[in-house]
Amino acid sequence: MKAPKFSYTRANSVDQVLTLLSEHGEDARILAGGQSLMPTLNMRLSQPEILIDINRLDALKGISVKDGVVRIGALARHVEVAESDIIAEHLPLIAEAMPTWPMSPYVIAAPSAAASRWPIRRRKCRPAPWR
C-alpha cells in the first residue's frame, strides 16, 4: 500500500509546531525519525491531514547539564545517548542500558523517544537484586 495524501510542513520553530498541533489536533502527526510513523502511513493505519517535520529544530537536539538537571533533547539520537559522556557520568543506569537497545542503522539515527529532563541526585545506587 501507499501512504494516504497529506500536507507536509518543515517546522521552523517549536512555536510553529505548537501552533500547528493546536490548529490540526488529532489530524496532525510529528515526523522525527519516521521509523514507526512511515510503516503506519504505508499501511494506512495512520491518515494524518498534516505531517510536521521537526528534524531541523536545533532547540530539540543535544544532551546537556544545567543547574543539576540532565536534558536529553527530543531529537537526541540513540547513538548520541549511547556515546554521551554526560549520560555516562550523571545517568549511569541509562548508559548501562543503552547497549541492550537494538543498534541497526535505522535505530542509530532514530530519536531517543521524547525530551527528557533528569535531576542529578548524588546518592549511591544499589545493583539490581538479580545480579
Spell out the domain ranges in the chain: 7-53, 61-119
The pLDDT score that the predictor gives to residue 4 is: 83
In CATH terms, the fold of domain 7-53 is 3.30.43
Residue pointed to by grid coordinates 510513523: 37
58-112, pLDDT tens digit by residue? Answer: 999 999 999 888 999 988 888 888 899 999 999 999 888 887 776 544 444 445 5
Give me the architecture of the 61-119 domain, per CATH.
2-Layer Sandwich (3.30)
Is pTM beyond 0.75? Reply is no
The pLDDT score that the predictor gives to residue 102 is: 65
CA angle 102, 107, 108 (to 5 degrees): 100
